[in-house]
Amino acid sequence: MRQILSVYIMGVLLMILVFLSVGQIASAQELRDPMQPPALALRKFRAAKWAVQAKPAKPQATKPKAKPLQLTSILFSAERKVAIIDNQMLALGDSIKGAKLVRLTRESARLVRRGKIIDLSLESELTAIRKRAVKSDL
């Protein structure tokens, strides 16, 4: 009889401990952060945040930066006038990348693209040396 009574008391004590621990867990979940805004304000904030994020962003079409035209050399004589721009030979009236060659001198080329003038020149060390040599011969 003592064994039954001790098992019964142990069972009751165990059940009391379980109920107490469940009560403590429940009360711990009920504790709230005092700095947290009210539930209504949180719902409004989240709704506004999702509304902003839900709008599809307009894709920004970015044009790749066009590399400027580079005048490499000019073949200039009485019979022909040819400019080499971006490794392509152009005579007067020819076009490259939408720009038309309209004027050619011994040291420069003028192109026109959509009404805008593009002046290219052979300003390099070689032309500077040539100019000094010609001036010194005079």
The span from the CA of 73 to the CA of 19, in Å, is: 95
DSSP-assigned letter for residue 83: E
Q: What would the pLDDT profile of 34-90 be if each residue is shown by its tens digit?
A: 777 788 888 888 888 877 665 566 677 777 777 788 888 888 888 888 999 888 999
* pTM of the predicted protein model: 0.45
Tally the residues of the chain: 138
What radius of gyration, in Å, describes the C-alpha atoms of the chain?
Answer: 43
The span from the CA of 100 to the CA of 82, in Å, is: 13
Q: What would the pLDDT profile of 20-37 be if each residue is shown by its tens digit?
A: 776 666 555 566 777 777
Whether the CB-CB separation of 76 and 114 falls below 8 Å is answered with: no
